[in-house]
Amino acid sequence: MDRLFADTYAIIEILKGNENYRRYRDIKLITTDFNILELSYALIRYYSKSKALEIISDVRDNIEVTDVNDSDFVESSEFRIKSNREGKKLSLIDCLGYIVAKRLKIKFLTGDKEFRDLEGVEFVK
């Protein structure tokens, strides 16, 4: 396991210093700009604008931000519809990250309980 897709939950837990995420600090992490948007929202609720920008800059220096494509958008939308029908409550951004991880053939790192039993997920609380 040399690369993982980090969802926003995982990025926040790493930033908070959650001991359960310590081992992922030395693994190449990948995310999307949409996860950076979610992270920005979380940060601005607790920090000043300048501190949030500083943290985001540090995250971008340490996590690869990958592009998404139209096929990712369509597949993640289908995945969310299917998951909602099964009673799961997944955000569009989480669905997009999961689909991008599958396309990249890497595991999806998250602590979101809705992903706990899905294939290709590295679930860490």
Task: List the CATH number of the domain containing 73.
Answer: 3.40.50.1010
Task: Give the pTM.
Answer: 0.95
Q: Which of 84, 62, 69 is nearest to 10 (CA)?
A: 62
Full residue range of the structural domain in which residue 31 is found:
3-123
Decide: 110 and 123 in contact? Cβ < 8 Å: yes
pLDDT digits (tens, 9 = 90+) for 24-76: 988 999 999 999 999 999 999 999 999 999 999 999 999 999 999 999 999 99
| Per-residue 3-state assignment (H helix, E strand, C coil) for 51-104 | HHHHHHHHHHHHCEECCCCHHHHHHHHHHHHHHHHCCCCCCHHHHHHHHHHHHH
